[in-house]
Amino acid sequence: MISADALIALVRDYNPKTNVDRIAAAYDFGRAMHDGQFRRSGEPYFSHPVEVAAILTEQQLDDATIITALLHDTIEDTDASYGAVADKFGDEVAMLVDGVTKLTNLQLSSHETKQAENFRKLFMAMSRDLRVILVKLADRLHNMRTIRSMAAEKQVQKARETMDIYAPLAGRMGMQWMREELEDLSFRVLNPEGRQSIIRRFITLQKESGDVIERITGDMKHELAKAGITAEVLGRAKKPYSIWRKMEEKGQGFSRLSDIYGFRIITSNEEDCYRALGTIHQRWSAVPDRFKDYISQPKTNGYRSIHTTVSGRDGKRVEVQIRTRPMHDVAETGVAAHWSYRDGVRSNNPFAVDPVKWVAGLTEQFDAEEDHEDFLEAVKLEMYADQVFCFSPKGDVVKLPRGATPIDYAYAIHTRIGSACVGAKVDGLRVPLWTRLKNGQSVEIIIAEGQTPQVSWLDIATTGKARTAIRRALREVDRERFIKLGRELARSAFEHVGRKSTDKALSTAAKHLRLKSPDELLARLGSAELTGHDVVQAVYPDLTNKDGEKVSPRRAVIGLSPGQSFERAACCQPLPGERIIGITFRGKGVVVHAIDCDGLGAYEDMPERWVDLNWHSGTHPAVYGVTLELTICNDAGVLGRICTLIGEKKANINDMEFIDRKPDYFRLRVNVELRDVEQLHSLMLTLEADSDVAAVDRLREKAKHPVSAG
């Protein structure tokens, strides 16, 4: 774990005027609050906040942000209160820590409607102080770096959430290095075989062609020096996930993918950026349609750079980014550059955007969204989108996501223009409405009175704003018909669970689903945007299951006769989630076996005793015993740690038996009580991952039940 002195040294490298005493006090406070807490890896828990703070020093952030990182889990996971943090470190830090705590409590990978509401809260937190998100991103980055200590299913959940939300958010904030690392760490969990295949191809390519990066970097430096341009040239291979994504998008194999290397040219001034561009294009052939000038048309997060792709004599393509040093600093840290410090003062980077204006611009289009799904779609489109810049006939610049069409352009100007659109001209030529717009094109929208949005436009539009406006207009056209149909569907859905579709019930459902009126709810029900189950569950969540069926008292096993009892076979110890079969016994009821149990062979000639059974779907209590056979190192503390791992997986140890004791290892059998087969697999993966566990197997024995039915 990084010491307090080492962390302070990292801060002082870029901020000699840092308040050393405050950071040291925060370090001591956080360590004391987390005393006795440990991560799943066995490390002291406080090592995590310290590493998060260290990540933020790489972005040269202010003292308040560093202190927040050290304390970001204290309100959530310790006895520290908001008031205690405010008393010791001030209201600014307390507010930031509280903001991170609230973000941590958002389950962003949950059900879509809830996810949309959590996105609203996320953007609300961003609008108060963007540093909350910076700390949260650093927190997620360190968690992803140490994700191997988590349970397998938790790894997948966190990796998917990171890939869907945090990585694109980091990219949208201009922190491209963080986006790439988050994506690659998630890729390692979600598709380890795909990632390894990319790495193997890289190694093979390097053996075949030598160090391409060093060779091309040298050539670029030579050409720039000949032209009298002072510049730094940096080269790198793209991350495995970036290459995988290109392969997926283009439908090409690795061997056909050419632009897998990227180079950055950092000049002393803007004029030299364009001189360097000319020099590169004179030496290497420019690839058509692969040029972007973000210096003259910056991204909204402050990013400025010239992008071009060139091809050498061997046909190998490389991507080149050209920018000045201040532009590069913003490209590395994005919106975070606003809080960066240099020599003890706030860095006055001319390209760092005002975070308040940035968040306001980002959230403006979402504020009008009434529908959860539309809001979520708009957020994700905005976060993932690259941009194209088009011009109006008057010369005004209109920013749109890549892949946008004239429909998107029309709605970007005004909803009234979009709804009345009947055609478009691009660079003076009439084009279909599904045409994909490109950078620098001039677009003119043709409108007509009486025109209304068409259903087919939903397949053409790509922006959240356009799709929301089209849906809203389409709903209005058939609103009355949908309300009438929705009322009938609601009546039927409520009767299905023994309730009446009263005005009060509909009002309650509309309020719960955040719709403005019962009529709005009925209209959406009639247009199939909501289901009858959604409406009933909003009022009576305990009366329906996920399939909309009325809930009734249930037994663990389905297929038994009324009053018939069952017990699990000791030989195979079947668990919920496994396919099962029952064998009837007089006086014993039914003995349940796993479908692949060897013991079933004794009953092959007695089909009349076989009962087709299934486990009831849903969550079962952790009462089903399973015997595991483990081989572990005979070393101090190993057995205790194994028992702790089992407890952390919410499994109860029912019995333990040592089979073999050797000087260097133990073999033992542990009977654990589990919920279902999924919990069993998760537990076995966790045990197998421990370095002191040589083997772990599920024990299944010969059938012990008598064959006789008497």
Catalytic residues: 76-77
CB-based burial of residue 388 (10 Å sphere; 0-12 exposed, 13-18 middle, 19+ buried)? buried
Crossing angle of helices 176-190 and 240-250, in 10° steps, is: 80
CA distance 175 to 149: 26
* Contact (Cβ atoms closer than 8 angstroms) between residue 605 and residue 630: no
DSSP state of 164: I
Number of Cβ within a 10 Å radius of residue 158: 20
CA distance 380 to 39: 32
Structure tokens at 533: 């189950």
Phi–psi pair at 439, nearest 5 degrees: -55, 135
DSSP state of 550: B
Which residues is 642 bridged to in the sheet?
A: none
User: Sign (positive/negative) of CA torsion 352, 355, 356, 358?
Assistant: positive
Phi–psi pair at 46, nearest 5 degrees: -65, -15
* Contact (Cβ atoms closer than 8 angstroms) between residue 239 and residue 183: yes
Closest by CA position to 513, among listed 119, 116, 121, 104: 116
CA distance 619 to 546: 13
Which residues is 265 bridged to in the sheet?
A: 233, 322
Closest by CA position to 111, among listed 402, 373, 292: 373
C-alpha pair distances (Å), 487 with each of 208, 468, 538, 539: 69, 24, 16, 16
Contacts of 469 (CB under 8 A, 6+ apart): 411, 415, 418, 419, 453
Structure tokens at 224: 């720039």
CB-based burial of residue 121 (10 Å sphere; 0-12 exposed, 13-18 middle, 19+ buried)? middle
Number of Cβ within a 10 Å radius of residue 5: 10
Beta-strand (E) ranges in 535-664? Answer: 557-558, 566-568, 580-585, 589-594, 610-615, 624-633, 652-661
